[in-house]
Structure 1
Amino acid sequence: MPYPKGHKIKVRNTIVESAAQAFRTHGIHDVSVPFIMKGAGLTHGGFYSHFDNKEQLVAEACRYAISDTIALLQKVADQEEQNPKINAVIDYYLSPYHRDKTEMGCIIPALSAEISHSSEEVRQVFTQELERMIAFISDLAGIEPSKGSALFSTMVGSLVLARTVNDPELSDSLLSSGKRYAKELVTI
């Protein structure tokens, strides 16, 4: 009996979601295709009927994860009644919750170091998606893209460092300082 219409696309999307979650949590190189497929509830034998290679999956997972993050941040902004709405996004992005929930967090701080060693295809997709994220942040803050780059870089850098250290007080301090200076960038 044949699969219902749209089955292959649904399975492919499930694999991409599993990969995005795994890459956010463990990085690219520490995640195998069998691990991703198991997370999707599938055997690894079917991987190549959906993707040419792991690099193609990394690129698609980056697209998916950044779209997911932008949608989440837009929801945070939409729920904010005060202006500027960017402050609610900064507060969420640099929160202990976002720091600790890497499996659903922004993929940019999770993968940036590894992406620099990836294929040109993956780097191109990551670049396009980073530009899309910066445009989202800039538009939401009502600032020019170069200032939006500085704002988002401050947010990403603060989150990376807060996730890296093993001292909880220092981690919280990095988030708090990052919030304060990110918000100052918006008002300058």
Structure 2
Amino acid sequence: MSYTQTHKMKVREKIVGSAADAFRKKGIKEVSVPQIMKGAGLTHGGFYAHFANKDQLVAETCRKAIGETIALLKSVADHKEDDSKIQTVIDYYLSTTRRDKLEKSCILPTLSSEISRSSEEIRQTFTEEFTRFISFISGMVGNNDQKSMAIICVMVGSLLLARSVNNAELSQNILDASKLYSKALVFIKTSS
């Protein structure tokens, strides 16, 4: 790969990284291309040398951000015995750190409501990456996609609600209750 191609890929990665941080904090609609480019240390004029439009950037950012969440949770789980991997993931995901540090947290709670009203390109990429997340969690719960989806839905919804309320005690109670009941889902017998 030539220097020019390598350099262009590095710049593109900086743009996607800036977008991921910004989208996690503010969502898609509240973040402009010039803000993303500024966050990457670039001028907004160079954006179209890397992306056809903002939708393409959003799709690529979803791929990167969900991939980062999976990699992070995998690294947390890898240090545990098989039986406790999912419990460790649940504890980590539903922590006050994940709730409060938006720019480094999972993108699913922030973007899901916006994605549902986004372009087909964005929704397709989001669906592919969400499916990959389901498979990752499923591997820790006996390859049961139904359990995996239920656990993910509880975790994502709980993080969203814990961030939304303006009462610190209620927010913590949401996280604590969600940890307890997410872990209980692991042990529910299913017919599938």
What band does the TM-score fall into relative to the shorter chain?
over 0.9
Give structure 1 regions of 4+ aligned residues with deviation exceeding 3 angstroms: 2-5
Q: Distance in 2 between matches of 1:166 and 1:82?
A: 37
Other structure's SS at 1:133 match: helix
User: Given residue 137 of structure 1, which amino acid in structure 2 is its aligned partner?
Assistant: I
Which runs of structure 2 are paired with 1:1-188 in the superposition (5 Å)? 4-81=4-81, 83-188=83-188
TM-score by length of 1: 0.96
Which residue identity is paired with 1:75? S
| CA-CA distance at 1:37 after TM superposition | 0.3
- Alpha-carbon distance, 1:53 to partner: 0.2
What displacement does 1:84 show?
Answer: 2.1
Measured in 2, the distance between the counterparts of 1:83 and 1:23 equals 34
Cα contact 1:14–1:40 (8 A) shared by 2: yes
The alignment partner of 2:30 has SS state of coil
Identity %: 60
Opposite residue 59 of structure 2, the aligned amino acid is A
* Shift in Å, 1:132: 0.7
**Coordinate RMSD, CA, aligned:** 1.3
Rounded Cα–Cα distance in structure 2 between residues aligned with 1:171 and 1:74: 26
Query: CA contact under 8 A between 2:134 and 2:149: conserved in structure 1?
Result: yes
What CA distance in whole angstroms lies between the structure 2 residues aligned with 1:147 and 1:73?
17
- Aligned partners of 1:146 and 1:129: how far apart in 2? 17
In structure 2, relative to structure 1, the CA distance for the partners of 1:145 and 1:82 (3 Å cut) is closer
Distance 1:88 1:12, change over 3 A: same
The C-alpha deviation readout for 1:127-151, integer Å capped at 9, x for no partner, is 1111111110111222410111111
Q: What are the ranges of 5 or more consecutive residues in structure 2 without an aligned counterpart?
A: none
> In 2, distance between residues paired with 1:58 and 1:145?
26
How many correspondences in the alignment? 187
CA distance in 1, matches of 2:43, 2:121: 26
